[in-house]
Structures are given as structure tokens and as C-alpha cells.
């Protein structure tokens, strides 16, 4: 990876390699600096594997997790594919975008770290179903929060 801050990551059950050490953009991509150039982690990883990205194409996430840099989850696509994906994602309304969701990203982080509090207690604390707590802990929901 060359010089720069060490990349730390976790691997989710679905195989996503999610960076935990670097800042994210608003839409969840991992920003990284290499050789004085600012780029995205997933893009850098793709280029290191396959070489330069042809003009007009972008590196997309098959797994829909913008912080993921598992090479097997990346593919080339057009910018309009990306926009279509984003629209579809918003329509399916996950996480905070969901008007019915009572939880915020900071709550999700708290829940995942609260190993000494039972799921039913957590459910009461946040006013959600214990099943929702289990899904958060198992990364079935809120996959974009780490």
C-alpha cells in the first residue's frame, strides 16, 4: 500500500472488508491519501489489482457497502449505474434514512459495544424490539455502521 496511515479493517459475515481506521465521505466511501494524492480506498485497491480504470468508468460495490474494499466485491460500472443504485438504496430505506427507525448511528455503535447489557435491556433502553438489537449485533442491519 506504500506510505501512509496503516489500514485497519474488520471482516463482516458476508465477506465485506470494512475499513475502520480512516475517515469516510458523506456517502460512506473511505478517503485515503497515497503518494500525496487523495483517492478512495476501494478505487486504490481495484487499481492495484487490475490496473488503471478506463475513462468514464467507476469502481462500484457489488455488496452495496461503500466502506468495503474486498476486491471480490468490487466491479467496474458507469456513473449512471452508481446513481441508479443510490436511488434504489434510498427507496429501500435502510438505517437512519428510514423514517420509522428510532435509532441513530451512535446508538448502533453503543449497542454493538454494550457486551455487558442484555439484548432485552438494550431493547428497552432504545424502545425497539429485541430482534432489532440482535440484528444490529450480527450486522444483519446497519451494515454501514462500524
Please state the φ and ψ torsions of residue 30, each to the nearest 5 degrees: -90, 125
Binding to Zn ion by residue 63, rule CB under 5 A? Answer: yes
Q: How many helices and strands in the chain, by DSSP H and E?
A: 5, 6
Binding to Zn ion by residue 68, rule CB under 5 A? Answer: yes
Q: Which is nearer to Zn ion, 70 or 141 (CB)?
A: 70
Distance of closest approach, residue 122 Cβ to Zn ion, in angstroms:
27
Task: State how far the Cα of 48 lies from the Cα of 52, in Å rounded to an integer.
Answer: 8
Among 65, 108, 122, 128, binds Zn ion (CB under 5 A): 65
Spatial CB neighbours of 122, under 8 Å, sequence gap ≥ 6:
111, 114, 130, 133
Q: Which is nearer to Zn ion, 11 or 121 (CB)?
A: 11
Q: Which residues bind Zn ion (CB under 5 A)?
A: 16, 63, 65, 68, 70, 73
Amino acid at each position: 500500500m506504500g506510505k501512509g496511515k496503516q489500514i485497519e479493517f474488520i471482516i463482516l459475515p458476508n465477506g465485506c472488508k470494512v475499513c475502520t481506521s480512516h475517515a469516510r465521505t458523506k456517502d460512506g466511501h473511505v478517503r485515503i491519501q497515497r503518494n500525496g494524492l487523495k483517492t478512495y480506498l476501494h478505487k486504490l485497491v481495484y487499481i492495484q489489482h487490475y490496473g488503471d480504470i478506463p475513462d468514464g468508468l467507476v469502481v462500484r460495490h457489488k455488496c452495496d457497502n461503500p466502506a468495503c474494499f474486498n476486491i471480490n466485491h468490487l466491479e467496474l460500472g458507469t456513473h449512471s449505474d452508481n446513481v441508479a443504485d443510490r436511488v434504489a438504496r434510498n427507496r429501500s430505506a435502510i438505517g437512519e434514512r428510514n423514517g420509522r427507525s428510532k435509532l441513530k448511528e451512535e446508538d448502533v455503535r453503543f449497542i454493538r459495544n454494550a457486551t455487558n447489557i442484555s439484548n432485552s435491556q438494550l431493547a428497552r433502553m432504545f424502545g425497539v424490539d429485541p430482534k432489532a438489537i440482535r440484528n444490529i449485533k450480527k450486522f444483519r442491519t446497519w451494515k454501514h455502521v462500524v
